[in-house]
Amino acid sequence: LKNALIIVIANHMKKSYLSWNKDTVEDAIIFNHLYELSNGKIDLTKSKEELSASYELIKVNKKQSNKSNFSSGSKSVIVKKSKLVKNNTNTKNKNRKA
Protein backbone atom coordinates (compact mmCIF):
# COMPACT_ATOMS: atom_id res chain seq x y z
CA LEU A 1 0.00 0.00 0.00
CA LYS A 2 2.80 2.42 0.88
CA ASN A 3 4.57 1.76 -2.43
CA ALA A 4 1.34 2.31 -4.35
CA LEU A 5 0.84 5.67 -2.64
CA ILE A 6 4.40 6.68 -3.43
CA ILE A 7 3.79 5.92 -7.12
CA VAL A 8 0.54 7.93 -7.01
CA ILE A 9 2.45 10.89 -5.55
CA ALA A 10 5.16 10.55 -8.21
CA ASN A 11 2.54 10.43 -11.00
CA HIS A 12 0.88 13.52 -9.56
CA MET A 13 4.24 15.30 -9.49
CA LYS A 14 4.79 14.35 -13.13
CA LYS A 15 1.32 15.59 -14.07
CA SER A 16 1.95 18.89 -12.28
CA TYR A 17 5.32 19.24 -13.99
CA LEU A 18 3.69 18.70 -17.38
CA SER A 19 0.95 21.22 -16.70
CA TRP A 20 3.57 23.96 -16.29
CA ASN A 21 6.18 22.62 -18.71
CA LYS A 22 4.61 21.29 -21.88
CA ASP A 23 7.66 19.18 -22.68
CA THR A 24 7.94 15.55 -21.73
CA VAL A 25 9.76 14.71 -18.53
CA GLU A 26 11.78 11.63 -17.71
CA ASP A 27 10.76 9.57 -14.71
CA ALA A 28 14.29 9.90 -13.29
CA ILE A 29 13.79 13.65 -12.87
CA ILE A 30 10.58 13.11 -10.90
CA PHE A 31 12.27 10.39 -8.83
CA ASN A 32 15.14 12.77 -8.02
CA HIS A 33 12.72 15.54 -7.02
CA LEU A 34 10.78 13.14 -4.82
CA TYR A 35 14.01 11.97 -3.20
CA GLU A 36 15.05 15.56 -2.53
CA LEU A 37 11.65 16.65 -1.20
CA SER A 38 11.45 13.65 1.15
CA ASN A 39 14.97 14.27 2.50
CA GLY A 40 16.08 10.90 1.17
CA LYS A 41 13.24 8.90 2.75
CA ILE A 42 11.66 8.02 -0.60
CA ASP A 43 14.19 6.69 -3.07
CA LEU A 44 12.85 5.55 -6.43
CA THR A 45 16.03 6.43 -8.31
CA LYS A 46 17.04 2.76 -8.58
CA SER A 47 13.48 1.51 -8.94
CA LYS A 48 12.23 -0.24 -12.05
CA GLU A 49 8.80 1.35 -11.59
CA GLU A 50 7.51 3.38 -14.53
CA LEU A 51 5.21 6.33 -14.18
CA SER A 52 2.33 7.06 -16.51
CA ALA A 53 3.33 8.12 -20.01
CA SER A 54 3.58 11.87 -20.55
CA TYR A 55 1.09 11.87 -23.43
CA GLU A 56 -1.55 10.23 -21.20
CA LEU A 57 -1.12 12.86 -18.51
CA ILE A 58 -1.17 15.72 -21.02
CA LYS A 59 -4.32 14.30 -22.61
CA VAL A 60 -6.06 14.29 -19.23
CA ASN A 61 -5.00 17.89 -18.57
CA LYS A 62 -6.42 19.03 -21.91
CA LYS A 63 -9.75 17.32 -21.23
CA GLN A 64 -10.03 19.02 -17.85
CA SER A 65 -9.02 22.42 -19.18
CA ASN A 66 -11.61 22.20 -21.96
CA LYS A 67 -14.31 21.52 -19.39
CA SER A 68 -13.30 24.56 -17.37
CA ASN A 69 -13.01 26.83 -20.43
CA PHE A 70 -16.43 25.95 -21.76
CA SER A 71 -18.35 25.67 -18.52
CA SER A 72 -21.85 27.05 -18.35
CA GLY A 73 -20.76 29.38 -15.55
CA SER A 74 -19.09 31.84 -17.90
CA LYS A 75 -22.06 31.83 -20.28
CA SER A 76 -24.50 32.49 -17.46
CA VAL A 77 -22.50 35.56 -16.42
CA ILE A 78 -22.88 36.98 -19.91
CA VAL A 79 -26.59 36.18 -19.94
CA LYS A 80 -27.05 37.72 -16.51
CA LYS A 81 -25.26 40.89 -17.59
CA SER A 82 -27.46 41.24 -20.65
CA LYS A 83 -30.57 40.65 -18.54
CA LEU A 84 -29.41 43.28 -16.09
CA VAL A 85 -28.94 45.77 -18.87
CA LYS A 86 -32.35 44.91 -20.26
CA ASN A 87 -33.97 45.15 -16.84
CA ASN A 88 -32.30 48.49 -16.14
CA THR A 89 -33.62 49.85 -19.43
CA ASN A 90 -37.13 48.68 -18.60
CA THR A 91 -36.92 50.22 -15.13
CA LYS A 92 -35.90 53.56 -16.60
CA ASN A 93 -38.80 53.44 -19.04
CA LYS A 94 -41.30 52.67 -16.26
CA ASN A 95 -40.12 55.66 -14.23
CA ARG A 96 -40.58 58.08 -17.12
CA LYS A 97 -43.59 60.35 -17.03
CA ALA A 98 -45.70 60.41 -20.13
Banded pLDDT at 62 (limits 50, 70, 90)? low
Residue 63 scores a pLDDT above 80: no
Above 50 in pLDDT, residue 75?
A: no
Contact 83, 43 (CB under 8 A): no
| pLDDT tens string 77-89 | 444 444 444 445 5
- Poorest-pLDDT segment among 23-27, 72-76, 90-94: 72-76
The residue among 33, 69, 30 whose CA lies nearest residue 50 is 30
Q: Give the pTM.
A: 0.55
